[in-house]
Amino acid sequence: MTNEPRRLARIVLGLTGGIAAYKAAELVRLLVKAGITVDVVMTEAAQRFITPTTLQALSGRPVLTDLWASGADNGMSHIDLSRGADAIVVAPATADFLAKLAHGHADDLLSTLCSARDCPLFVAPAMNRRMWTNPATRRNVAQLEADGVTVLGPGVGEQACGETGEGRMLEPAEILAALIAWAQPKVLAGRRVLLTAGPTFEAVDPVRGITNLSSGKMGFALAQAAAEAGAAVTLVAGPSSLATPANVTRVDVRSAADMAAAVTAHIDACDVFVAVAAVADYTVAEPSERKRKKDGKPLTLTLAPTVDILAAVAARPDAPFCVGFAAESHDVERLGEEKRRRKKLPLLVANRAQDALGSDDNEVILLDDAGAHPLPRMDKLALARRLVGEIAARMPQLTP
Ligand code: CTP
């Protein structure tokens, strides 16, 4: 287990000859913006789709295209370039280039660099959907994965050829996100994390219900950050249209009772439980099976309390490491600390409900036995990564 992020300061970005090469310009821009030094290497075919000049302007560095005339002092650019690189990323990677890699060919600068590398290799395939499902491509991709190459995507969607299917290169932002995820410290390796996220929905009748403004963003970001940190992650999600983060097992639920049941079903197999969901405290005692008709008179609904999922988990004799959230409209620290003690939690994340619900960023105070630790405002994914570090630091060490 390492607490250090993997270095991602310098990468070699290889372009091969596919129409998605135009997206590489945007990828270079995003990588440079993220503070990463990018050395671009292009195959001959890639230069038919986009010019080295464009990539040179965006990367601010010479673009290399030729194994024989690379301009390196000692003529060993294939070794020099990958030495000191933290990763090689080939985007777009054509079917032909994947075949070359799978068979160890080294007949141009990029394939030579890949075979002489001592750093991780990522490929972002881009091709027609039939080429992607072609048995030879399947074999080559399986071989590359077996060789430790990370295959990013491809995505599904409309293709340049007019067809629709699997084979589109991932979007530049998705490729950057995958690289940043890879670089995260693996502080939760070997841990199993269960989370709740999102709102719940308590039915009044078949078409109406009581819910709240939670978007699920914080819980989904935490699930993502825990998976990036090497944990096996199960996310119990209330109604939310957010995409499931990579390497996360999602269990969709609707009501607070469904959420409690799903947590009970998964709790035995977890070391950490993070309750991020905004769970309804009350449910409709007798939801109508038929759609209610209005009659012009006031309507009284009887609400019955729900189970406090987090308190029930924390009270188990074999309780996992439990983390709670507290959304308070005022007096955040005092009410949060009371909640932490009442629910017997080693760690609680307190925030102002008005700030947190539905927004993209958040400002929280961590509460633990040592006191209150305010964190600066940050976006929810950055906060999630920080919280994962804080959770890992407070957990009992794994015995080797
Ligand atoms: N929680 C839970 N099950 C519930 C209610 C809350 O697991 N039925 C969890 C939430 O996921 C959160 C923490 O308890 O981690 C606190 O939730 P919050 O809504 O802030 O507080 P409540 O316990 O509901 O108390 P109150 O609404 O009175 O502030």
Tell me how far apart the alpha carbons of residues 302 and 289 are, in angstroms, rounded to a whole number: 15
Q: Is 356's C-beta closer than 6 angstroms to any atom of ligand 1?
A: no
Tell me how far apart the alpha carbons of residues 98 and 139 are, in angstroms, rounded to a whole number: 10
Structure tokens at 360: 């993209």
10-183 and 192-394, same CATH topology = yes
Domain boundaries, the chain: 10-183, 192-394
What is residue 84's predicted lDDT score, i.e. its pLDDT? 85
In the set 114, 161, 270, 322, the catalytic residue is: 161
CA 339 – ligand 1 centroid, Å: 9
Question: What CATH superfamily is the domain 10-183?
Answer: Flavin prenyltransferase-like (3.40.50.1950)
Task: State mean pLDDT over 251-260.
Answer: 98
Identity (one letter) of the amino acid at 137? Answer: T
According to CATH, what is the number of the domain 192-394? 3.40.50.10300
The string of pLDDT tens digits covering residues 160-218 is 878 888 999 999 999 999 999 999 999 999 999 999 999 999 999 999 999 999 999 99
Asked whether the predicted pLDDT for residue 283 surpasses 50, the reply is: yes
Instruction: Give the three-class secondary structure for 146.
Output: helix
Longest CA pairwise span in the chain (Å)? 89
Task: Write the DSSP string, 14-73.
Answer: EE-SSTTHHHHHHHHHHHHHTT-EEEEEE-TTGGGTS-HHHHHHHHSSPPB--SSS---T
What is residue 78's predicted lDDT score, i.e. its pLDDT? 62
Active site residue 322: no
Task: State mean pLDDT over 65-79.
Answer: 64
Q: Of how many residues is the chain composed?
A: 400
Asked whether the predicted pLDDT for residue 378 surpasses 50, the reply is: yes
Task: State mean pLDDT over 52-66.
Answer: 95
Instruction: Give the three-class secondary structure for 387.
Output: helix
Cβ-contact 215, 238 below 8 angstroms: no
Mean pLDDT of the chain: 93
* Angle formed by the axes of helices 21-33 and 52-59, nearest 10°: 10
Closest C-alpha to ligand 1, atom 21: 326
